[in-house]
Amino acid sequence: MLARILPLALLVLQPFAFFSHVLVNPEFHIPWDLFGFHSPIFTFQARELRQGSFPLWNPLIYCGYPSYADIQAQTFYPPAWGVWLARNLSERPNEAYLLEWFDTLHMMLAGLLMYWLLRRMGCSRPAALFGGTGYQLSAFFASQAQHVGAICGAAWLPLAWLGIYELRRCWNPRWFAILVLALSMALLSGFMAVTYAVFAAVVLLALGFWLIGEADRWILPRLFAAFAVTAGLLAIQLLPAAELADLSFAKLRANWYQGGGLPVNAWKAIFWPNFFNVFTPEKYTEPFNFTFLYLYNGIAPLLLAAAALVYPGRRTRMAACLTVILLLLCFGNHVPGFTQAFDLFPRSLRGAWYAEFFVCVFCGGLALTAALMLQRLPGTRWKWVAALALGVELFFAGSRRPMNTAEGNWKWQSNETSIDGVSGIVDHLHAELGQRQPPLRIDNVDLLFHFSMSAALRNLPTSSGDNPFAPARILELRRDFTRGNEWERNLVVDRPESPWLDFLNVGLLAAQMEGLPDNRLELAGWCRTPADYWIRFYRNSSPQPRFFLVGDVRWAQDAKASRAILAGLIQETDGLRRSAVVEGPPVRISGSGEVDVRQYSSNRIVLQTKATDATFLVSSETAYPGWQATIDGQPVPLRTTNYAFRGLAVPAGSHEILMEFRPTVLLWGAAISTLVLLGLGCAVIFLRGASHPSSVGRAADS
């Protein structure tokens, strides 16, 4: 009984021990993106659900973008709903702490699934424990804890491999469904670089089984059928994500990105954990993200994998060769021929391919190979010792290191109600911006993530952001008054006199450095607020409202013409206040009037207009497919206005205008997903395919 329970208990307790310093009476926290990127997204999702609204549209960054279509938000990833529920049941802002638990639970899952895979492949309990430990405490999970989606996606790799293993010789509806489940979870986890790595590793394992004669000729057709079913099952996420990718900054990445990859000398870190001084960042000198140069997975797994390369067993040698291939893929464009092959990939694939994230499948392959080789060696008791020793070694090598640990309790980090532990800043900002309905927006003149991506964390609207899915047209307009390289999406203001800031309803600018002096900001109409914080704030004396009516419309045939006309319009005095550039066929517009905002929420806006003649409603809200409008209950077309925003023609008189976000692509995706789910369920229930006997207890090699 102890032999059965002990491996499972250890695979649950080891990740908890690994991160106990951030989970129990913590004095530390997992740094960087967990707080600055993932926490704001999760907070927004939870807040929307708490208010009884499905998180479809996020109006708080980039003047609005479709959050449900952003696969990084994990809107359709079932485990994420547990985090939102836990946050909404709590009375305090603790989403970052919950995400630290989320990471830890997925590390547990990774170990348990690797253990299950190895047991099904015929490994003994201590050998399977060795592999499970080697994966869950591997270099990838130790170094990439900040990337929540990456940790989630990597956890499902062993289950996908298990599905391939069970399907290698015959069709089985249950294992086919399990393979589809694993692939679906890896994709819905929201980190596409890891998804690509997992999918590639699954294909390579299937090929490996076929090459050594352990799989029949139908293994690849079964796998590609699983890919097809997965795509259909996830249409509810994939169709909106594809639409967003085509309309966002993501489609531009392929213009300059060549696939990435570890530097050539990174292989040295496989043998020595601190070869590049990653444990002492002040001594680190490599021109590369130091978190990727922690590649240590233990000495014993390396020795076992090296032995597997020369061992006569077909399966162990195949696993060792697979591990070597996966390691080479980690080096990306440093591998001869990779760049030429990468250029053949579809542009949509190239933009999200980060070769360095193949470290996750390399670590999985190494754990698998080492466990299979360990199983081939004689003796049992010392295998238990090897498994326990590996856990201890990886704990002391990887836990509490700079790539996963920073000083400071999570309670004192920035959250919904405070910035760096100071709550008064958030209260001040809500008071300043909340003087209008909807609230004014904030922007920044320095790289202050508090007011870009993290603005959503505190329910502060901003015209900025730091998201790979930034709306492409919004980002293009921001370049008129900001600075930043073409591959950057967090662009900071360097021309405060630009009329675009007024148009975008920006009421405050935040600054920390001395890049823009007070006198220049004052000349541009920005007055420093008396609030005395380590961040300075400057108030705009006359920002334009989010919604207003104009009587002068300049019509453009397409986006290019719109951009050209706007270039002239912003040179005119009050050009963006008096006029608008609208794409499409012209209609008669001659008057102006007043707009009253009756209701403003994420997915629904109600306005009351009053005009003496036909006029045009201009907004600084992002234009995007799925937004629909009615005037007094009658549908009317929304027009792309001022290149990137929503507007519509309004007849004379008093009218109620309703704008709602009801994306048709979501309905189509939901319909397809439902049909595929029903079909898959029927296949599992009613079809009975031949199944080879369970492999538990059989030899792990041939």
Q: Which domain holds residue 551?
A: 547-660
Do residues 512 and 560 both lie within one domain?
A: no
Do residues 536 and 551 both lie within one domain?
A: no
Do residues 226 and 153 both lie within one domain?
A: yes
- Is 254 within a domain? yes
Cα–Cα nearest to 535, from 444, 461, 454: 444
**pLDDT value at 698 more than 60:** no
3-state secondary structure of 561: helix
**pLDDT value at 537 more than 60:** yes
Of 540, 574, 599, the position where a domain reaches its end is: 540
pLDDT band at 688 (very low <50, low <70, confident <90, very high): low
CB atoms within 10 A of CB 694: 11
- Is 701 within a domain? no
Do residues 40 and 69 both lie within one domain?
A: yes
Do residues 567 and 508 both lie within one domain?
A: no
Distance CA 117, CA 122 (A): 9
Q: Is 633 exposed, middle or buried (0-12, 13-18, 19+ CB in 10 A)?
A: exposed
Cα–Cα nearest to 474, from 491, 459, 460: 491
Long-range contacts of 311-315 (CB under 8 A, 24+ apart): 311/373, 311/376, 313/376, 313/701, 313/702, 314/212, 314/213, 314/214, 314/701, 314/702, 315/121, 315/212, 315/214, 315/372, 315/700, 315/701, 315/702
Of 497, 518, 540, the position where a domain reaches its end is: 540
| Cα radius of gyration rounded to whole Å, the chain | 28
**pLDDT value at 695 more than 70:** no
- Is 687 within a domain? no
- Laid out side by side, the sheet with 634-636 consists of 593-600, 604-611, 653-661, 627-631, 634-636
What is the residue type of 510?
Answer: A
pLDDT > 90 in the chain, percent: 85
- Is 688 within a domain? no
Torsion of CA 46, 50, 51, 55, to 10 degrees: 30
**CA distances in angstroms from 572 to 158, 531, 577, 620, listed in the order given:** 62, 34, 10, 19
pLDDT 10s digits, 622-649: 999 999 999 999 999 999 999 999 999 9
**pLDDT value at 73 more than 80:** yes
Mean pLDDT of 677-695: 74
**CA distances in angstroms from 641 to 30, 181, 528, 580, listed in the order given:** 42, 43, 32, 7
Of 347, 372, 404, the position where a domain reaches its end is: 404
pLDDT 10s digits, 385-394: 999 999 999 9
For residue 374 the two structure tokens come to 């360990």
Mean pLDDT of 204-215: 97
- Is 474 within a domain? yes
Q: Report how far Cα 401 is from the mean position of its chain's Cα atoms.
A: 24
Do residues 88 and 121 both lie within one domain?
A: yes
158 Cβ contact list (under 8 Å, min separation 6): 110, 113, 114, 116, 117, 135, 364, 368
Per-residue confidence (pLDDT) for residue 689, from 0 to 100: 54
pLDDT 10s digits, 93-124: 888 999 999 999 999 999 999 999 999 999 99
- Is 494 within a domain? yes
Do residues 467 and 489 both lie within one domain?
A: yes
Per-residue confidence (pLDDT) for residue 411, from 0 to 100: 78
Total domains in the fold of the chain? 3
193 Cβ contact list (under 8 Å, min separation 6): 150, 352, 353, 354, 357
pLDDT > 70 in the chain, percent: 98
Mean pLDDT of 498-516: 94
- Is 677 within a domain? no
What secondary structure does DSSP assign to 250-271, as a single string? GGGGGGT-------GGGGGGGT
> Which ranges in 121-269 belong to alpha helices (H)?
125-136, 139-143, 148-155, 157-167, 173-188, 192-211, 219-233, 235-247
CA quadruple 48, 51, 57, 59: dihedral positive or negative?
A: negative
Do residues 525 and 590 both lie within one domain?
A: no
Mean pLDDT of 185-193: 97
Distance CA 613, CA 550 (A): 11
Do residues 419 and 389 both lie within one domain?
A: no
pLDDT band at 701 (very low <50, low <70, confident <90, very high): low
CB atoms within 10 A of CB 231: 16
Q: Is the peptide bond before 438 cis (omega within 30 degrees of 0)?
A: yes
pLDDT 10s digits, 231-259: 999 999 999 999 999 999 998 888 887 88
- Is 250 within a domain? yes
pLDDT 10s digits, 307-344: 999 998 999 999 999 999 999 999 999 999 998 999 88
Do residues 247 and 310 both lie within one domain?
A: yes
Q: What is the DSSP letter of 625?
A: T
Per-residue confidence (pLDDT) for residue 363, from 0 to 100: 98
Per-residue confidence (pLDDT) for residue 694, from 0 to 100: 42
Based on DSSP, count helices (H) and strands (E) in the chain, helices before strands. Answer: 27, 19
Least confident of 101-105, 132-136, 522-526: 522-526
Do residues 506 and 629 both lie within one domain?
A: no
Per-residue confidence (pLDDT) for residue 140, from 0 to 100: 98
Model confidence, pTM? 0.96
What is the residue type of 108?
Answer: M
Do residues 488 and 523 both lie within one domain?
A: yes
**CA distances in angstroms from 657 to 269, 578, 595, 609, 614, listed in the order given:** 61, 21, 10, 7, 14
pLDDT 10s digits, 397-440: 999 999 999 999 887 777 888 888 788 899 999 999 998 999 99
With tokens 């920005």, the residue in question is: 526
CB atoms within 10 A of CB 639: 23
3-state secondary structure of 396: helix
What is the residue type of 511?
Answer: A
Distance CA 258, CA 251 (A): 14
